Chains A and B, each alone.
Chain A
Amino acid sequence: MSRAHFRLSGLWPMIRKEFIQMRRDRLTIAMMVGMPAIQLALFGYAIRTEVRHLPTVVLDESRSSASRSLVDAMRNTGNFDMIGEARTRDEIRSLIEAGDARAALVIPPDFARDLKRGRTARAQVIVDAADPLASTAAIGAAAAAVSARANPGGRAAMEVRVRPWYNPALESSNYIVPGLVGLLLSITLILMMGMAIVRERERGTLEQLVVTPIDKTSLMLGKVAPYVLVGYVQMTVILVLGKLLFGIPLRGSLPLLYGVSAAFIVANLGLGLFVSTIAQTQAQAMQLSFMFMLPNILLSGYMFPREAMPVPAQWIGLLLPLTYYLQILRGILLREAGFESIWPEALVLAVFATGVIALSVRRFSKTIG
């Protein structure tokens, strides 16, 4: 038997033990499956209520049956409430600025004529994009209302140009839900990892382990490795539920996403390990873990575009693994990005993961003597 083989002989018993404990720990299982489900439901519900019945004004310069049927189609999506007609673009602007309307449908005079001649007829939807949640869904709804009507030739009969006002950097639809994958992974992994180790410290089992011949690599790998799997299970739960309940797009390569997610998962477990080297009790571990939560929600770009933040906030955001992972998530899931366009973020995550694990393992080694 080689020495290296012997050195890691404690790894399997550790992992096995960890899984038995995990299976019995209802809180962990609830956190793994229940938390993503609840969060998804909350966010999904929030998205729906907010984008339904967007007060909309119509500027119909075509005044044709075609234009009226477009207005109907838009209304029928349920996302737009037609609150009245505007006579000029200036009127639209003042209505939106006053907050009376949050969207406008502009149908130009040649709309019906273009449609009749087989050309693509153009209409415009203006959205108050200050609220990205509302506007993204409105954009999607407008596109859906129009795409239902194609020419027999297959060419698009109409095209709706969307002009998001006030927030032109708005990038994509389904902005929030893919990000939820990253946010939930981050929160639960840091918390569970930190708690798992502090629990052993509290109960005296860590001290007991340290006087056994188990090597530190087995001890730490055995503690961390099961949670990598937890991370993947959780990620899968969120993706599947997101797809089933809210139809979030899964456009790009899933193997690529799962591959680069390893770096993100390990980075967060490293942070959890770090938490466990500071916290003496499980309550402290929990408080420390939640310290990561607010920056993750507010500064990573999960909820608000980072471009719109003050520079110091952007810098803090750069220290969060979630910031990079969000770009990977949105890139792969929404834009079908390949490795060639996400590798810089993946590299940063890999470096971060290595660094934080190395640091935490060193601190951890010291605390266990």
Chain B
Amino acid sequence: MSLELTIDIRGLRKVFGPIAAVEGLTLSVARGEVFGLLGPNGSGKTTTIRMLCGLLAPTAGTAMVAGCDVVREGEAVRRRIGYMSQKYGLYDDLTVLENIEFYGSIYGLRGEARDARIAALFQELDLTERVHQFAGTLSGGWKQRLALACATAHQPPVLFLDEPTAGVDPASRRRFWEIIHELARRGTTILVTTHYMDEAARCDRLAFMSRGHLIALGTPDEVTRQFGMASVEDVFIELQRKDELNTAEMGNRNSEIGTVP
């Protein structure tokens, strides 16, 4: 039974013009796992998440999310996922309550069921005192929490977080990760991209991407050992260094030939 595999990606590929943003990506994520997708900027993390959410059509390959094909069953997928982007997607001119009511309604929550769910979310995320504050006046940490509340209003089995903690203070980041792990304990599958290596260490499993390729996969310990490094951070820095070297080399080759293929 593949039901436990909430995310199942096989040979996923995305090409933008002459550049392959994601190349032959195959990986799977089990139910209740917190899965970290790491890599330098431009390595294909965000492109991958966008394909899994149905925001981008893959050039080739398949991806199943919560038992639905992301290409053929886009609407079913969208009902089963929550998505939180770096930009948070909040309406600054709506209050905390109005934002969450809006997204709740979009996910089909109505009447008492919606109100009960919102009350529970406020409780969980300590938002109760800020109900009538405009989202635009919230600080980064609170915005992030509200965005999480909006993305999980419908209790999705799968949650995609694209650099959710960029620009958030350390205390809020810690609290955010506690909430993430709580969600995972209750069975939510979480795929998260991040630049913070302390956060990467808190994931159950990691995947490193570099220029569209998957180059390492495993628990934080496994990945560190695989590369013979002391920490995930060292692995990341080493990979990024190699990546930059390769890019520079390619640039040199191109300039020697004198044409860009």
Q: Give me the interface of A with B, judged by CB distance under 8 Å.
A: 9-10, 12-14, 16-17, 20-21, 24-25, 203-205, 207-215, 369
Chain A residues with CB below 8 A from B91, complex form: 17, 21, 203, 205
Query: CA of A212 to CA of B153 in the docked complex: distance in angstroms?
Result: 11
Count contacts between A and B, CB distance < 8 Å: 71
Query: CA of A74 to CA of B182 in the docked complex: distance in angstroms?
Result: 88
Chain A residues with CB below 8 A from B62, complex form: none
Q: Give me the interface of B with A, judged by CB distance under 8 Å.
A: 53-57, 75, 78-79, 81, 83, 85-94, 98, 102-103, 105-108, 150
Query: CA of A215 to CA of B76 in the docked complex: distance in angstroms?
Result: 12
Chain A to chain B: the 5 pairs with minimum beta-carbon distance, closest first: A208-B89, A204-B87, A13-B105, A211-B83, A213-B79
Chain A residues with CB below 8 A from B86, complex form: 204
Query: CA of A88 to CA of B78 in the docked complex: distance in angstroms?
Result: 85
Interface centre among A21, A203, A212, by most B CB within 10 Å? Answer: A212
Q: Are B108 and A203 in contact (CB under 8 A)?
A: no
Query: CA of A25 to CA of B57 in the docked complex: distance in angstroms?
Result: 36
Distance of B194 from chain A, by nearest CB (Å): 18
Given known A20-B94, A20-B98, A208-B83, contact A213–B89 (CB-CB < 8 A): no
Q: Are A211 and B57 in contact (CB under 8 A)?
A: no
- What residue in chain A is nearest B91 (Cβ atoms)? A205
Q: Are A9 and B89 in contact (CB under 8 A)?
A: no
Q: Are B85 and A208 in contact (CB under 8 A)?
A: yes
Given known A13-B106, A204-B85, A204-B87, contact A211–B94 (CB-CB < 8 A): no
Q: Are A211 and B78 in contact (CB under 8 A)?
A: yes
Q: Are B108 and A9 in contact (CB under 8 A)?
A: yes
Given known A17-B98, A25-B93, A208-B85, contact A369–B106 (CB-CB < 8 A): no
- What residue in chain A is nearest B151 (Cβ atoms)? A208
Query: CA of A17 to CA of B81 in the docked complex: distance in angstroms?
Result: 22
- What residue in chain B is nearest A22 (Cβ atoms)? B93
Q: Are A369 and B55 in contact (CB under 8 A)?
A: yes
Given known A20-B98, A211-B55, A213-B75, contact A10–B89 (CB-CB < 8 A): no
Out of B75, B87, B106, which one reaches A209, CB within 8 Å? Answer: B106
Q: Are A210 and B55 in contact (CB under 8 A)?
A: yes
Query: CA of A209 to CA of B88 in the docked complex: distance in angstroms?
Result: 11
Out of A25, A207, A214, A215, which one reaches B89, CB within 8 Å? Answer: A207
Query: CA of A210 to CA of B87 in the docked complex: distance in angstroms?
Result: 14
Q: Are B54 and A212 in contact (CB under 8 A)?
A: no
Query: CA of A208 to CA of B108 in the docked complex: distance in angstroms?
Result: 16
Out of A24, A204, A211, which one reaches B54, CB within 8 Å? Answer: A211
Query: CA of A208 to CA of B86 in the docked complex: distance in angstroms?
Result: 11
Out of B94, B106, B150, which one reaches A213, CB within 8 Å? Answer: B106
Distance of B208 from chain A, by nearest CB (Å): 25
Q: Are A12 and B105 in contact (CB under 8 A)?
A: yes
Chain A residues with CB below 8 A from B106, complex form: 10, 13-14, 209, 212-214
- What residue in chain A is nearest B108 (Cβ atoms)? A9
Query: CA of A214 to CA of B108 in the docked complex: distance in angstroms?
Result: 9
Given known A213-B78, A213-B107, contact A17–B102 (CB-CB < 8 A): yes
Chain B residues with CB below 8 A from A20, complex form: 93-94, 98
Identify 22 residue pairs between A and B in the complex whose beta-carbon atoms are under 8 Å apart, listed by A's number.
A10-B105, A12-B105, A13-B102, A14-B106, A17-B91, A20-B94, A24-B93, A203-B87, A204-B85, A204-B88, A204-B89, A205-B91, A207-B55, A207-B87, A208-B87, A209-B89, A212-B103, A212-B107, A213-B108, A214-B106, A215-B75, A369-B56
Q: Are A205 and B89 in contact (CB under 8 A)?
A: yes
Chain A residues with CB below 8 A from B88, complex form: 204, 208
Chain B residues with CB below 8 A from A209, complex form: 89, 106
- What residue in chain B is nearest A215 (Cβ atoms)? B75
Q: Are B93 and A21 in contact (CB under 8 A)?
A: yes
Chain B residues with CB below 8 A from A212, complex form: 78, 103, 106-107
Out of A12, A17, A207, A214, which one reaches B94, CB within 8 Å? Answer: A17
Query: CA of A284 to CA of B215 in the docked complex: distance in angstroms?
Result: 41
Q: Are A369 and B57 in contact (CB under 8 A)?
A: yes
Q: Are B93 and A211 in contact (CB under 8 A)?
A: no
Interface centre among A12, A17, A215, by most B CB within 10 Å? Answer: A17
Q: Are B78 and A369 in contact (CB under 8 A)?
A: no
Chain A residues with CB below 8 A from B85, complex form: 204, 207-208
Query: CA of A194 to CA of B53 in the docked complex: distance in angstroms?
Result: 26
Query: CA of A10 to CA of B106 in the docked complex: distance in angstroms?
Result: 5
Interface centre among A13, A16, A204, A215, by most B CB within 10 Å? Answer: A13
Chain B residues with CB below 8 A from A9, complex form: 108
Distance of A298 from chain B, by nearest CB (Å): 36
Chain A residues with CB below 8 A from B55, complex form: 207, 210-211, 369
Distance of A24 from chain B, by nearest CB (Å): 5
Q: Are A21 and B87 in contact (CB under 8 A)?
A: no
Chain B residues with CB below 8 A from A210, complex form: 55
Interface centre among A10, A14, A209, A213, by most B CB within 10 Å? Answer: A213
Chain A residues with CB below 8 A from B90, complex form: 203, 205
Distance of A110 from chain B, by nearest CB (Å): 73
Query: CA of A212 to CA of B98 in the docked complex: distance in angstroms?
Result: 17
Chain A residues with CB below 8 A from B75, complex form: 213, 215
Chain B residues with CB below 8 A from A205, complex form: 89-91
Chain A residues with CB below 8 A from B83, complex form: 208, 211
Distance of A213 from chain B, by nearest CB (Å): 4
- What residue in chain B is nearest A202 (Cβ atoms)? B87
Known A211-B55, A214-B106, A215-B75; further 5 A-B contacts with Cβ < 8 A: A16-B102, A21-B91, A203-B89, A211-B54, A211-B83
